[in-house]
Amino acid sequence: MTGTSLPTTDELRERALAALSRVGVTPEDGSDFHARTPITGEDLFGLAAAGEADAEEAVAAAHEAFLTWRTTPAPRRGELVRRLGELLREHKSDLADLITIEAGKIRSEALGEVQEMIDICDFALGLSRQLYGRTIASERPGHRLAETWHPLGVVGVISAFNFPAAVWSWNTAVALACGDTVVWKPSELTPLISLACDRLVARAAGDVGAPRDVHRLLLGDRAVGERLVDDPRVALVSATGSTRMGREVGPRVAARFGRSLLELGGNNAAVVTPSADLDLTVQGVVFAAAGTAGQRCTTLRRLIVHRDIADTLVERLTAAYRKLPIGNPFDETTLVGPLISPKALDGMQGALDRVQAQGGKVLVGGNRRLAGQAPEAAYAEPVIIRVGEQNDVVREETFAPILYVMTYDTLDEAIALHNDVPQGLSSSIFTRDQQEAELFLSSAGSDCGIANVNIGTSGAEIGGAFGGEKETGGGRESGSDSWKAYMRSATNTINYSSELALAQNVSFL
């Protein structure tokens, strides 16, 4: 599997089966849908989807498991995520294989995704001893006021194809440490990696004596996800995917007074100021815009460059883009793998046509690649396109490697342009001027959930909270105090005096 030549579907099928078998999974034959690889664009094998009865059984079992799991001391719950982390380390290469085969990620990014899963298990293990509540000064003598945190219930995790395992692990490792149980509906485009992850949790649970049903998997399309969305036993629906999906899921969960945590589309931008270190900027921009073939929620989609340096920067970026190796994601030299599907390629072409019709000018890229070798696959050259300020397409998320370049004269103008999109996930500024950096990070600067300086928009670490504002959905996952979304708090007032004192000096009786 080297060079520009692609592996065959048979080779990929064998590689997937070998990885699954090492993890302990034998996929059951089914005909409801197919596991597929974007590397050749062909089907790997048929699988069965979960029906209504399967969903009912899985949620009931996860709910039953919750009733014991919630009373298991949190540090003991941490032992489950520690064991899961060990198994992830052991099977890092197998899991990365499955991610590459199903999502098309290049090898180093697939390994990086598994590393992120290991990291969040470490984080959740520590968290299991740090689910702190506050003690609050009471206004009444002989009283103590405290905040305690309790497990929430069953967490329904609905995930997207592009981070087919890491996003699940952010939710699952933290939810399990918090005392919740999980029912997972992964993307229908990435069933194999989810079978592997589910198996590893089951193995970890068996090893530490936790109930098997702390984690259940439901394969299938959005209809399966909708069952989780509507089930009142699912206390929290954590849904990652397009804004379209979130627009449907959010109100449905709210209608039954459930909780939702939405991680939706981004339309991320970087501002490049005249003082920026251009070597660093070029590296940061190319990885953020072309990495993962433009299929990260945090992919850099808009570059807002000061007019004085625009030509120089664009020249350097286009030169770097011309050298990007595109092709077999298993080849160590490849930097850009396939798009997930021909439909994604159509979406990319459609966006390019519309931007050009509105005066945009393609500077580099945009051609389809490897169509002769793999007619069902979708390989595309990442594109840089120069646009004017007024361009509707720029305000949409197109899940493909398109970088729109626009220019600005004042930083206020750049920040206004930056924030003038419906999404609010990730952002960055490249500058060596501290005032500019601080302004960008201030309340008058970027309106995103992630704001960086001298680093691209993608590639967050698990220790911080991850998520975005506006149409990105407002959810926060992973590190910092995101765990609070997976628990419920109770305020306790304890009277240890022998007087009944009412708050606010109210007298009664």
Q: Under the rule (CB under 6 A), what is the footprint of ligand NAD?
A: 158-163, 167, 185, 187-188, 221-222, 225-226, 229, 240-242, 245, 248-249, 263-266, 297, 397, 399, 425, 468, 472
Whole-angstrom CA distances from 220 to 20, 105, 144, 163, 460 are 19, 22, 50, 17, 29
- Spatial contact of 401 and 293, defined as CB atoms under 8 Å apart: yes
Burial of 343 (0-12, 13-18, 19+ CB in 10 A): exposed
Residue 75 CB neighbour total at 10 angstroms: 13
Closest approach of ligand NAD to the CB of residue 187, in Å: 4
- Spatial contact of 103 and 164, defined as CB atoms under 8 Å apart: yes
Decide whether 96 or 166 has the Cβ nearer to ligand NAD: 166
The single residue listed with the structure tokens 């939706």 is: 264
Q: Is 197 assigned a catalytic role?
A: no
Decide whether 181 or 240 has the Cβ nearer to ligand NAD: 240
Q: Using alpha carbons only, how large is the chain's radius of gyration in Å?
A: 24
Decide whether 272 or 425 has the Cβ nearer to ligand NAD: 425
Decide whether 103 or 385 has the Cβ nearer to ligand NAD: 103
Closest approach of ligand NAD to the CB of residue 269, in Å: 14
Closest approach of ligand NAD to the CB of residue 299, in Å: 8
Output DSSP code: residue 32. Answer: S
Q: In what helix (H) or strand (E) does residue 260 lie, and over which residues does it extend?
A: strand 259-263
Q: Is 448 assigned a catalytic role?
A: no
Closest approach of ligand NAD to the CB of residue 149, in Å: 24
* Helices first, then strands: H and E counts in the chain: 14, 23
Closest approach of ligand NAD to the CB of residue 481, in Å: 17
The single residue listed with the structure tokens 């305690």 is: 148
Catalytic residue among 121, 178, 197, 297: 297
Catalytic residue among 263, 397, 436, 471: 263
Decide whether 72 or 268 has the Cβ nearer to ligand NAD: 268
What residues have CB less than 8 Å from 257, skipping those under 6 apart?
none
DSSP bridge pairs for 408 = 306
Decide whether 249 or 326 has the Cβ nearer to ligand NAD: 249
What residues have CB less than 8 Å from 375, skipping those under 6 apart?
41
Closest approach of ligand NAD to the CB of residue 384, in Å: 20
Report d(CA 192, CA 195) in Å as an integer. Answer: 5
Catalytic residue ranges: 263, 297
